[in-house]
Structure 1
């Protein structure tokens, strides 16, 4: 079974984002980064599928050379190969352009039975790239997967989360899955694998190499952010003190005051 996992390098979620007033962008220079957490669940799912059904895991990312750090984390977990798509023309790409570019890269790299993505990246929380890749490739997709139930001859059954409960869905291979945190617990890299990952060559592919049309990416993306701003700070709440009866009475009075109840 050939498996590909898309990973994204994002600012560390412990860092409070700041905006550069000159560029109206989030400041990333000098900011600590990490693999988007849901992508680690996707890597773990790929490794488990390879262990149970044979084959290997390839990881793919899009960004500048620093994104090799995230790819090496996936390699140190057990992935066999890694590729980076990097090209100045990709700067300012929207979700559609990123999906298009990754789909082109996947077609360039080879044929895959399963493609795995995190359910969303934690920097913009759009959750659109996985579905976009499947659409570009013309393959089955299942989103918000929290369990891989069964893998059969050319089909896969998975359980997915919905607003009203859970569904068990069967899909034809090849299929793209977007992964929930509840799907698994990502393994820790071993020292041996980390040393191997640090020595591995990571091919860098530009738009020309994968056959991506630069008129569809970057500043030519079909959508653009018109304005980016930090939300207004929230006012601190009021702390009600006293015993349970007093707190309950005061809370109800204040709710009535505000016409909430």
Structure 2
């Protein structure tokens, strides 16, 4: 397999040439920092994937993926670009790069953390025919993991519900979100998460859009919902503060490139159209 493109990741950042194209070869200056590598089909082309040692903690990485600024560090041949900043680019030529980078990082994260068979504990080996791992002992096949999650903007009388999370991204107000559980639909998950985290009941739950979020393996499904009943009673284990905000007067919130930003500013645009 002839490698035509190289994806190099570090702390939620992608290494690109100065013209925003992928390198065709792995720069030897990064050789001492590689903690994992793999080869996979990305966008119909064979690609080499490299994961470099992180320069920040997992908590800092998760926070930066939502609210951090793009990294300006560069070298003679290229520079590091934060994936969140790449996802925010609206030019058509960046859409394919963003999609492929999300796939590459998601696969690489899975490859790096999936080393042993969950049934018998034997070391897994890579499949020769598909992006999967096979247990040589019991023949169980492991495929890349995707964790579906919901995120919702709740409306009430022209205002929207935003919250500060207790465990992550504590400096921003964002939408209510959570992982899908076995046995429930996405809409049921929305209703449960809103009630568990804020004590509110919602209705008219409507799907808006979705986003691959490879930090490390989420697939975000975005919704809107209308407040039905209840007063805000935050779950202190999950939520530090939750409030109703006028879309014209927003607090510090996630930056472009996140589906949360799209939901929030979708409401801003909706209110402006009503004027």
**What is the TM-score when the length of structure 1 is the normalising length?**
0.23
Q: Which has the higher helix share?
A: 1
Q: TM-score, normalised by structure 2?
A: 0.22
**Whose relative contact order is higher, 1 or 2, with alpha carbons under 8 Å and at least 6 apart?**
1
Q: Which has the larger radius of gyration?
A: 1
